[in-house]
Amino acid sequence: MSERKDLYADQSHIPLRFWGYSLTESPARFANPDLVQQLTNPDIDADEASFYLWGDVGRGKTGLAVAYAMTRLAWDNPDVMPSSVSYWPVSRLLREIRSSFGGDAQLEASIFKECRAASLLILDDIGVEKPTEWMQSTLYEIVSVRHEERCATLFTSNLSIAELNARIGERTTWRIIEMCGAENIVHVAGPNLRDRA
Ligand SMILES: Nc1ncnc2c1ncn2[C@@H]1O[C@H](COP(=O)(O)OP(=O)(O)OP(=O)(O)O)[C@@H](O)[C@H]1O
Ligand SMILES: [Mg+2]
């Protein structure tokens, strides 16, 4: 992999273990050929297309989301300015925002700014947190900006849309539905890929 790609993957906080992932090599491709085709469609509008990938643990959702980011952004083409990607496991995102309370307003502002500014934001594992008013309003704040600005956002979750609705609330869920559209809300099927290990 090129140094350039490594640099941008690092800045995106994409975990090192995912850097080599690709859509065409994803072990999830066998059970989800249509989804892989959708994600590799060259006609996709990468600035706006959002996806909600949901399913049981170990189906390859995170791997697909990260591989999409790695391929979409032309990091290997020196003639193309790489877009900015921001990868956040939602539980860590909320923890960091929470930890900035009582002092570090700058950290909090910089996290929100990063979530707003990223060309592609990956919100990994949305809905794992216990529903609290604070969690719901914080997620709303992040998702509603992406929705308003029509910015590409990839969500992964263990929850169906109905289950998500119960967990994070209607206002945020409806925005996710609108951003992705029915065709990009996709159930990721297949075996638990971790069973192979
Ligand atoms: N694109 C890929 N290339 C290589 N290996 C992959 C890829 N995607 C997934 N895997 C393998 O499959 C395993 C499970 O994939 P992944 O972590 O994406 O599942 P998940 O659906 O996000 O699970 P969870 O719901 O627990 O977050 C990974 O730990 C990795 O070993
Ligand atoms: Mg995952």
Between 106 and 63, whose confidence is greater?
63
Collapsed DSSP state (helix, strand, coil) of residue 45:
coil
pLDDT of residue 185: 98
Using one digit for the tens of pLDDT, what is the confidence trace for 36-49? 999 999 888 888 99
59 CA closest ligand 1 atom index: 21
Q: What is the pLDDT of residue 71?
A: 79
CA of 191 to the centre of ligand 2 (A): 14
Å from CA of 65 to ligand 1 middle: 10
Atom 27 of ligand 1: nearest residue by CA position: 57
Neighbouring residues of 130: CB distance < 8 A, sequence distance ≥ 6 = none
Give the model confidence (pLDDT) of 85-97 as tens digits.
899 999 999 999 9
CA distances to 44, 103, 128, 156, 194 from 125, in Å: 24, 28, 6, 5, 17
**pLDDT, position 1:** 55
Rounded distance from Cα 58 to ligand 1 centre (Å): 6
Strand-strand pairing, 152-157 and 120-124: parallel
Q: Which ligand is nearest to the CA of 17?
A: 1
In this predicted structure, the answer to whether residue 70 has a pLDDT above a threshold of 80 is yes
Q: Is the pTM of this model over 0.85?
A: yes
- Measured CA to CA in angstroms, residue 58 lies from 85, 125, 179 at distances of 23, 12, 25
Burial of 33 per CB tally in 10 Å (0-12, 13-18, 19+): exposed
| Residue 53 · residue 154 · CB < 8 Å | yes
Question: What distance in Å separates the CA atoms of residue 18 and residue 37, rounded to the nearest whole number?
Answer: 20
- For the CA of 188, the closest atom of ligand 1 is 21
pLDDT at 163 over 80: yes
Q: Which residues line ligand 1 (CB under 6 A)?
A: 21, 25-28, 57-63, 67, 125, 156, 158, 193-194
- Rounded to the nearest integer, the mean pLDDT of the chain is 90
pLDDT of residue 73: 61
Rounded distance from Cα 194 to ligand 2 centre (Å): 11
Does the pLDDT at position 59 exceed 70? yes
Give backbone dihedrals phi and psi of 86, rounded to 5 degrees, phi first. -130, 120
For the beta sheet containing 185-187, the strands, ordered from the edge strand earlier in sequence to the opposite edge, are 85-89, 120-124, 152-157, 51-54, 185-187
Q: What is the pLDDT of residues 144-158, one digit of tens each?
A: 999 999 999 999 999
- Indicate which atom in ligand 1 lies nearest the CA of residue 67: 1
| Residue whose CA lies nearest to ligand 1 atom number 8 | 63
Residue of 51, 52, 61, 71 with the most ligand 1 atoms within 8 Å of its CB, for mutation: 61
Q: Which atom of ligand 1 is nearest to the CA of 192?
A: 14
Domains, the chain, with CATH or none: 3-196 (3.40.50.300)
pLDDT number for residue 9: 75
Environment class of 41 (CB within 10 Å of its CB; exposed 0-12, middle 13-18, buried 19+): exposed
